[in-house]
Structure 1
Amino acid sequence: MKELMLAVLLLAFSSCTKEKLDPIQLNQPFTMSTGNKLCADDKSFCLVMDRIAADSRCPSTAMCIWQGVAEINFTLIKDGTAYPFSLYTTEWQQYYTDTTVAGYNFKLQTLTPYPDGLKPIAQKDYKAELIIRK
């Protein structure tokens, strides 16, 4: 009986820690975290938010002459092929908030949290909101 109770408790606690990841729907905003892999609702592709390669956005506690930029690395997986690409929080010169890869347009809406300049942001804490269009 103790083993059964222990198994039930372990199952209950492990299910509480898993994040439910909804499928991606085209033309609908969705949010993903660093390290997440989300797939389209029709399974035609998957998207991985690999990492934040750089985050030089001006902290909310500072006064800056340049807003700064964050670079987010993604990988699109379609038909067994990996397509790495980056999106940026700012449109300027070589920085773009959107790109088209393998027939899909990826548009970055927001990246949170915004730096406050007081403490570094851990990779696992970043969340990107995107919209994908075909």
Structure 2
Amino acid sequence: MKTPKTARFWGFSRFPAVLLAVALAVACSPGQARPDTAAVPLGHEFVLAGGQDAVVDGAGLRLKFDRVLDDSRCPKRVSCVWTGAARIAVTVTPDGRQPATLEFNTNPAPGQTHLTETVGGFTVELRSLDPYPETPGTIPLPDYRATMLVTR
């Protein structure tokens, strides 16, 4: 049976043409540049975006970069008397245990730097926090990147 001319579009029936158009629109739409949950290896550095979760492979440990508590680091292209510091909160949940919120502080002053915490037999370390602030402007949470390391 021949398809009527009104039901055809460039030699295709309408349904496949519409389906193709929808698939192309979804594939080309801007999405997140990162998965919501990353699988990371134990003992290797990894990067968490602000708001992102990570599961440490084979360790039964979940981390989430929850929030930036403070970022007073000296902005790029600005001369400062003090380098400043950033504080972030990371929630760590070992399998079968209550979550613990860890605070990391990049303050370079003696006794103020707090880059390592221990939870459930794991050591969680903040290696770096990017980007550095710029003037003027604030950094949205999803734009932050925390380089972390988890060891046993």
Pick closer, same or farther for the CA change 1:42–1:7 going to 2, 3 Å: farther
Indicate whether 1:70 and 2:86 are aligned. yes
Q: Contact (CA 8 Å) 2:42, 2:59: kept in 1 or not?
A: no
The CA RMSD over aligned residues, in Å, is: 2.0
Answer with 92-101 or 47-56: which moved more.
92-101
Counterpart of 1:53 (choices 47, 69, 74) is: 69
Q: Give 1:17's match in structure 2, choosing from 19, 24, 31.
A: 31
1:8 correspondence with 2:23: yes
Kindly state the Cα deviation for residue 73 of structure 1 after the two structures are TM-superposed. Answer: 0.5
Residue deviations 1:16-45 (CA, integer Å, cap 9, x gap): 624245412121110010110110112511
Deviates more, 1:41-50 or 1:27-36: 41-50
- For structure 2, the residue ranges without an aligned partner over 5 or more in a row are 1-15
Which residue of structure 2 aligns with residue 83 of structure 1?
A: 100
Partner secondary structure for residue 96 of structure 1:
coil
Which residue number corresponds to residue 13 of structure 2?
Answer: none
* Counterpart position of 2:137: 119
Deviations 1:84-122 (A, max 9, x none): 111122343343111212221111111111112222111
Structure 1 residue runs of 5 or longer lacking an equivalent are none
| TM-score with structure 2 setting the length | 0.77
Which 4+ stretches in 1 moved above 6 angstroms? none
**Identity between Structure 1 and Structure 2 (%):** 29
Structure 1 partner of 2:120: 102
Deviates more, 1:63-72 or 1:16-25: 16-25
Q: CA 1:126 to 1:68, structure 2 compared with 1: closer, same or farther past 3 Å?
A: same
Q: Contact 2:75–2:132 at 8 Å: present in 1 too? A: yes
Q: Which has the larger radius of gyration?
A: 2
